[in-house]
Amino acid sequence: MIALSVNLNKIALIRNSRDTTNPDIPEHAQMCIDAGADGITVHPRPDQRHIRVDDCFDLARMLKVEFNIEGNPMTGPRRSDRAGVSDYPGFIELVKEIRPAQCTLVPDGDGQLTSDHGFDLKRDGDTVAPLVQELKAMGIRTSLFMDPDPEQIRLAAQTGTDRIELYTESYADAYRRQDNVDAVLHQFIAAAEVAAEEGLGLNAGHDLDLHNLPLFTTVPGLLEVSIGHALTVDAIRLGLANAVKAYRGALR
């Protein structure tokens, strides 16, 4: 069974629109778990515009399922300019202190609205590889956010990473437009086959939803999907627990 890790960033974004603790992040994490989520994902950015540093520690204290923290490993410490919001210690420092089950390294910049590309390991491989080894030495499973590019995936294997997470926006966009879906899906199938050849576990995420997810589950070797934005939107219509159950059903 493919694991569902629910990304709580958009739940936190709603909270941050007011000076409040509502919605409560650990409470909503538990609601997702009770409804069948296999794990919880967060992506704490240095501006803390959604998930904050304190949320990461709160979740780490209460979770009994896998915790996946995503972020740019090159992001250093930042001072917070908001009352009651802790300083950002730097991504790697945060992960070292929490030691989640999985750490997904993502090459996003401060100015990006959301993650929009995988690593270029021809350029960054020498920087990424030591970070992967550092995390693995602490017993943290590592995953690299990657485009469905076979050459780059082979380079990912050379870093020693345990898994890759395929960036699925191109598939989601093709599915939404119903344009060239089979050809785009084949790119992901080919990428998955290369990952398997290289001994890499396979995760996926970005704009997967109830409509496009069932077809994507035909990608061989898929272990986990991380879904936040679409699931949160569906939760407005269905309720959070029902949305999680619907995504579990789509993964079957």
What are the distances in angstroms from CA 158 to CA 62, 126, 187, 199? Answer: 35, 10, 21, 11
Q: How far apart (Å, rounded) are the C-alpha atoms in residues 230 and 187? A: 23
* Sign of the four-CA dihedral 229, 16, 57, 236: negative
Active site residues: 43, 70, 206
Whose tokens are 């997470």? That residue is 165
Alpha-carbon distance of 13 to 164, in angstroms, equals: 26
Spatial distance between the Cα atoms of 3 and 119, rounded to a whole number of angstroms: 23
Q: What angle do CA 139, 45, 77 make, to 5 degrees?
A: 80
The DSSP 8-state label assigned to residue 252 in this structure reads -
Dihedrals phi, psi of 226, to nearest 5 degrees: -115, 120
Alpha-helical regions (H) of the chain? 9-16, 25-34, 53-62, 91-98, 121-137, 150-158, 169-177, 181-197, 213-216, 229-238, 240-251
Coil, strand or helix: which one is 210?
Answer: coil
